[in-house]
A and B are shown apart, each in its own frame.
Chain A
């Protein structure tokens, strides 16, 4: 059975928003290797988003296209997790572009990467064969993303006093936002009921194991207490998504149909 189009959009929006966010490091990476890594990770995310938008467009029919879905929907129509749209600024720094904090980038990629390895692994068995095919490809990429992020979480955590302090601060800042992972929306419930989606709650124990294992290796402390539950996947976003989409969608909207 086919996954609901809104479910595909939820997965696609997650990928495109984090892909766009991480691409901000292009040309500004802390070291050359990491600059290249973030470019590669972003390309993977944008590639995954394209496959998902193409599938959603086919399912929606009419005049829907992948470009229309990515470039001509407004922020309230985006169904991504709030975590993914936040700027690269940790709580210890300001909001100027020059103040980007790589520990924040890495912690977000880690928390989300650990989720997506489990999500794609489960969706490989989706009753929607097109979604299952995308999941099988994306899983291979997600493993590299998680490996990369987990490696840096450990290096930062078990590194210098400064790197430890910054990665712990990023963790304290971002961890509450992961509560959104575990509170299914009506769209996710419908996808699960159709057999095409995954019940995220069944993935929580495995996610906890990955997170606890990596934080332990990095001598980091897992923030305690339940977070508040952000509602990005319901279309209620932080103020940051509008600016991100403004940059991503500006050219397509100023020059509809532009090619080069």
Chain B
């Protein structure tokens, strides 16, 4: 027999990010926790960027999905620990790459701020999701959504999105 918690995870499994429909909320690490409390089931989500307009949509999607399945649940937004792209699963990263978005590198612990504002180290080379070349250049730190930067491949000449380490 499946518990109600397992049932909630299974129900929410197909829910994808509104902006990047190839990865699920679970794979992105936005869907954090499902617990059974005396007051009913509690679903914990964590915001990505503070001003990301997709967060409202995500909360509505989770609520609507559970309502449709007839599972009464409360959706709670929790800030700490802060969401990080390091929570993204390897399968999600591969899905992003196939979709045409270069997946994020692992975040680095900043040693100090001065070091941070200097040019990124060679280990931060971003591979083009189309041809695999690391001969790429950033055209803007800010892209079509809060979580992405704009890059250009100097070999195949294609522009592409890079999911920023965060």
Contact = CB atoms under 8 A, between A and B. Distances in A.
A118 B113 contact: yes
Contact of B142 (A36, A129, A138): A36
A51 B78 CA distance: 11
B2 interface: no
B82 interface: yes
Interface in A47-85: 47-48, 50-51
A132 interface: yes
11 contacts: A36-B143, A36-B144, A39-B142, A43-B51, A47-B51, A51-B50, A121-B113, A143-B116, A146-B113, A147-B141, A151-B141
Interface string B110-134: 1001101100000000000000000
Contacts of B164: 144
A132 B49 contact: no
A118 B144 CA distance: 28
B146 A129 contact: no
Contact of A43 (B49, B83, B141): B49
Smallest CB-CB A-B distances: 10 pairs = A47-B51, A47-B50, A43-B51, A133-B80, A33-B140, A37-B142, A133-B79, A40-B142, A136-B82, A137-B82
A136 B80 contact: yes
B138 to A, nearest CB: 10
Question: What size tier do the contact residues of chain A reach?
Answer: 35 or more
Contacts of A210: 113-114, 117
A45 B117 CA distance: 20
A207 B146 CA distance: 26
A206 interface: yes
Contacts of B110: 143
Contacts of A130: 79
A9 interface: no
Contacts of B143: 36, 40
Interface in B44-102: 47, 49-53, 79-84
Among A36, A39, A114, A138, chain B packs the most CB atoms within 10 A around the CB of A36
B79 A137 contact: yes
B39 to A, nearest CB: 20
A104 B73 CA distance: 49
B50 A50 contact: yes
A132 B81 CA distance: 10
Interface secondary structure of B, over-half rule? loop
Given A45-B51, A138-B50, A37 B113 contact: no
B113 A206 contact: yes
Nearest to B81: A136
Nearest to A40: B142
Contacts of B166: 140
B139 interface: yes
B5 interface: no
Nearest to B150: A33
B51 A48 contact: yes
Interface in A113-139: 114, 117-118, 121, 129-130, 132-134, 136-138
A46 interface: yes
Nearest to B145: A40
Nearest to B147: A40
A137 B150 contact: no
Contacts of A99: none
Interface string B131-166: 000000001111110100010000000000000101
A146 B114 CA distance: 10
Contacts of A39: 142
B50 A44 contact: yes
Contact of B50 (A48, A150, A213): A48
Interface in A145-166: 146-148, 150-151
Contact of A141 (B50, B113, B114, B150): B50
